[in-house]
Structure 1
């Protein structure tokens, strides 16, 4: 593989193109300053304005959300996995029908496999612009977002209407629902009863892994984060490992699955038969199956990254709690 071919499979942090109208709450005060990024695959964006950096999906999607302080993402649910790790900033994740069933605060490098089928939201509670990276299960990311009813109602007051076709229409731009397309119906009371309300104690032990715990676990070999043998035991259609300076594979290796490399801290060098390149925090590299490659930290000091691999597991629901 030539350097040019590999570079086409790497999305650099500095090249990320944000969409500010990706979802129905894009005009709602408190959420109207967020930026969404679709890095690998189309994700669950509802807007035609979203730029997709790499369209080919490896069995999952990679995206990101960037938000200034006090900006929040509104309550919604997914049918397949949604996994976040904090690239920068300090974030509060909350869940439940009204966002009051439970919450957790995550710092840089922490990872959260949010249970499927519950309403969840998040906000930047830090002092600077923050970024969280996302892994979404399935090639089509579960067919979109399910919004809490109040989110759809609030959005209508600020000019955005979601059609039953899953597409967003901005009345401020003169857009209207096409003929024959009805607004997305609100969930009924009976439908809402099917959404679990797990507490903080229900969720944190099996769905949250802290950066410094993973650093300790990965001092000699990669730490398994998500998977049957992982710290977070799950089969969401992909597996996640955590790699540090002390746990990088000793030799060049290749795997039969797709592999996505996402540095958290430090500077890395990715080498393969045909070239090498630097990877930095916020970069996303999609290594194709069967390509022999190696990783080395490019400088002294702390270095860590998440490694995501496709698996044969179906990208279905992950919440099995009460």
Structure 2
């Protein structure tokens, strides 16, 4: 391949293609202005309109949510890990059966590893359009979204019905459930007992790390944010490192599986050596860009100018992308 073809593995922020009908709450007031993005992997969209930018399996999915002020994402759960970092804006994350078990406000660069098995939602509480970037465990992202019962009921009142096949049908467009397809059943009271009400201390203490704390930790070497030996100790099927300009190294390195670079501050120049599949080349990444680095490709990333610079680096591990210890609180 040529260096120009490597550009196909870079998704630029300005080229992101949103889907406004990705989930069941797309018509629900307060949630009807969301934009969802599937950057790497199939994601968990319930709509055939969702565009996938890079379909190459990585062992995890990368997505994003863009929302105007006061727009929220409804309460839902996943069977695998869901990690967010704030790219732009100010966001409130909340959780629990009714969304009132706890909440935390995150600023730009902050990261949250939300425990599996609890209902969670998020809202842009800033004054401008905001964006959060997401990492979902597994290539199939846990097989979809599990919605709190009231979300499915509210959506039906506004014309959207979710089939048990995981697909959305818009009655406002004359759509109906196909023959033989039943509506997605609501979780029973007995099933809801499997979704714990975790305290703020549990969720924030185990899963939230602040941008400026990570900058301090990554003063001279990358900080492992999520991993068996990370500052968030979890094994969700992937690891997340935080790299600052002062911690970046010009030494070339490689991984035995695809990895992902996601700048959050500053501009980064990524260089790579030639191998049997790729010619040597370089590219510059800005905040909001996402780059998939092929396996066994020697590469390095350095800030392209002076000033503040930080990025997140994600790579899959051999750990199963299922419920983690954080989803089983005592």
Q: Which category of TM-score, normalised to the shorter sequence, fits these structures?
A: over 0.9
* SS of alignment partner, residue 169 of structure 1: strand
Query: Where in structure 2 are the equivalents of 1:202-217 lying within 5 Å?
Result: 202-217=202-217
Tell me which residue corresponds to 2:319: 313
Deviation at 1:300, TM superposition (A): 1.1
Corresponding residue for 2:277? none
Instruction: Name the residue aligned to 1:295.
Output: 301
Aligned pairs, how many?
Answer: 322
Counterpart of 2:282 (choices 276, 281, 298) is 276
Gaps of at least 5 residues in structure 2 are 274-279
Q: What's the TM-score once normalised by structure 1's chain length?
A: 0.99
* Number of the residue aligned with 1:4: 4
In structure 2, the residue matched to 1:198 is 198
What RMSD in Å do the two structures reach over aligned CA positions?
Answer: 0.7
Question: After superposition, where does 1:1-322 map in structure 2 within 5 Å?
Answer: 1-273=1-273, 274-318=280-324, 319-322=327-330
Partner-residue secondary structure (3-state), 1:247: coil
Offset at residue 187 of structure 1 (A): 0.6
Q: Within 1, Cα distance between the matches of 2:249 and 2:148?
A: 44
1:124-176 C-alpha deviation (Å, 9 max, x unpaired): 00000000000000000000000000000000010100000000011111111
* Greater displacement, 202-211 / 114-123: 202-211
Runs of 4+ aligned structure 1 residues displaced above 2 Å come to: none
**1:32 Cα deviation from its structure 2 partner:** 0.2
Distance in 1 of aligned mates of 2:44 and 2:270: 30
Q: Is the Cα contact below 8 Å between 2:222 and 2:247 reproduced in 1?
A: yes
CA–CA separation in structure 2 for the residues paired with 1:7 and 1:263: 16
CA contact (8 A) 2:250 2:302 kept: no
Q: Deviations over 1:266-303 (max 9, x none)?
A: 00101012110110000000001110111111111000
State the Cα distance separating 1:320 from its structure 2 match: 2.8
TM score, norm. by length of structure 2: 0.96
Q: Measure how far apart 1:257 and its partner are.
A: 2.5
